[in-house]
Chain A
Amino acid sequence: MRRILKILLALALAGAAVFWWITRPQIAGPEVLAGLTPDLAQGEQVFFAGGCSSCHAAAEATGEARLILSGGLALPSPFGTFVAPNISPSPAGIGGWSALDLYNAMRNGVSPEGAHYFPAFPYASYVRASAQDIVSLHAYMMTLPASDAPSKPHQVGFPFNIRRSLGAWKFLFLKPGWVLEAELNSAETRGRYLVEALGHCAECHSPRNLLGGTRSNLWMAGAPNPTGPGNIPNITPGKLLWSEADIAEYLSSGFTPEYDTAGGHMVNVIANTSKLPASDRAAIAAYLKRVPALP
């Protein structure tokens, strides 16, 4: 009996050790950025492609005010409400961050203090961002206006507020590879990078499982709207029947082929995509035509 207890205790300890090992925050060292130099113009493009303003600028901000990343958007979820923090270059934001800090935040979902971020911050997409793009983005973000507005706390209850458990979430759902593995031409390849990495389109356009992981078998098939009534539409070729030119135009002016316009959060997205080169909008459209069609 005593022997069995000892074995059980050993197994429990081993299990805890494995859990502790799996859930530890993992960060990259400075070697991942070795030899990379920032390019401010490129950083600005990454900033718009990444859609930082859509959540981190004040909800009603337009024009230049969208560059003040004081935080604010509340994202309700089954796990609680996440509030986008201040990421402006001030002590209240990311003022003291190195490029490597930004790299580890975006690709590994780990803060400079070594804590897991909640995946409301779309690192499950940004994990595919290139180191060069992150270095340039870091330099660009440091040129933006500083805001001293303190970040608001997330409203997340037990047990989801145990940050360590997010290591298990990452073990299950943080995958650096591409979702669409296919022979792609250069425009489609660029589009895949813009959609799957920087644009993080699937964070809203794909449904999630019970644990909040994106369901890659229903890639871009639409999902409930996290920030308001209605649904985020299916944008696979099964439902989105627009031509590539129509999609590119929508991402530029916001006009649908019927000359209605986007509404809701997509208005923020278009405020960003309209600032990309036309070739990038065409690349996004080309990629979306290659996504498996779903009803």
Chain B
Amino acid sequence: MRIKKIMTGSAAALALAGILSSTMVFAASHSTPESAAAKARQSQMQLYAHNLGVLGGMAKGATAYDADTAQAAADNLAALVALKQIGYWLPNSSTDDMEGTAALPAIWQAGSDVGAKGKAMADAVMAMQAAAGSLEGVQASIGALGGACGACHKAYRKPSN
């Protein structure tokens, strides 16, 4: 009888612990299709940043120029801009809808030129890919790339404090 009671108590405690922990996991991730899409966008930006960092470091002389490394970074950028992003930019995933994003609703609104800005970035990446074979080429192309990134951030990203 006593043993049974203990076991019942343990089972209840275990069940409670299980419910609590799953609730906590759910609360921690609280994953929705929109928040998952925002994370995918941010991962894409991280990959841009890493490869831009390789090229930018060489352009400003912080690291020595190496043709193979530069070309690999430029090729990666080209591969990244070729990704189909339709699944990243779900409706209702702007700063108006959720935490954890800086994407302004203007991206989705009438008159948005986000597609043209994306095309401008793709063009700047292609120019970099064609020029990465020399340090002078990297230096001449990095500014336009930064300009393309900045143009979109200016229009469509909420400033951080």
Contact = CB atoms under 8 A, between A and B. Distances in A.
A245 B60 contact: yes
A249 B60 CA distance: 7
Interface string B128-161: 0000000000000011011101110111011111
B157 A263 contact: yes
Interface string B24-68: 000000000000000000000000111011001001111000000
A45 interface: no
A260 B42 CA distance: 11
A264 B153 CA distance: 7
A263 B151 contact: no
A264 B159 contact: yes
Interface string A73-111: 000000000000000000000000000000000000000
A225 interface: yes
Contact of A253 (B143, B158, B159, B161): B143
A261 B149 contact: yes
Nearest to B155: A60
A266 B149 CA distance: 13
Given A252-B143, A253-B142, A274-B143, A230 B160 contact: yes
Interface string A245-273: 11011001111001111111001101100
Contacts of A262: 150, 153-154
Given A259-B52, A274-B147, A245 B154 contact: no
Interface string A130-165: 000000000000000000000000000000000000
A254 B151 CA distance: 10
Nearest to A250: B146
Interface in B81-110: none
Contacts of B157: 263
Contacts of B60: 245-246, 248-249
Contacts of B62: 245
A185 interface: no
A259 B50 contact: yes
Nearest to B158: A229
A248 B56 CA distance: 12
B97 to A, nearest CB: 17
Contact of B150 (A225, A231, A245, A267): A267
A29 interface: no
Contacts of A229: 158-159
A217 interface: no
Given A259-B49, A261-B149, 16 more contacts: A225-B159, A230-B160, A245-B60, A245-B62, A254-B150, A255-B56, A255-B142, A258-B49, A261-B150, A263-B153, A264-B159, A267-B150, A267-B153, A267-B154, A268-B154, A274-B143
Interface of A: 60, 62, 225, 228-231, 245-246, 248-249, 252-255, 258-264, 267-268, 270-271, 274
Interface of B: 48-50, 52-53, 56, 59-62, 142-143, 145-147, 149-151, 153-155, 157-161
Give the 3 A-B residue pairs with the shortest CB-CB distance, closest first.
Answer: A253-B146, A267-B154, A254-B146
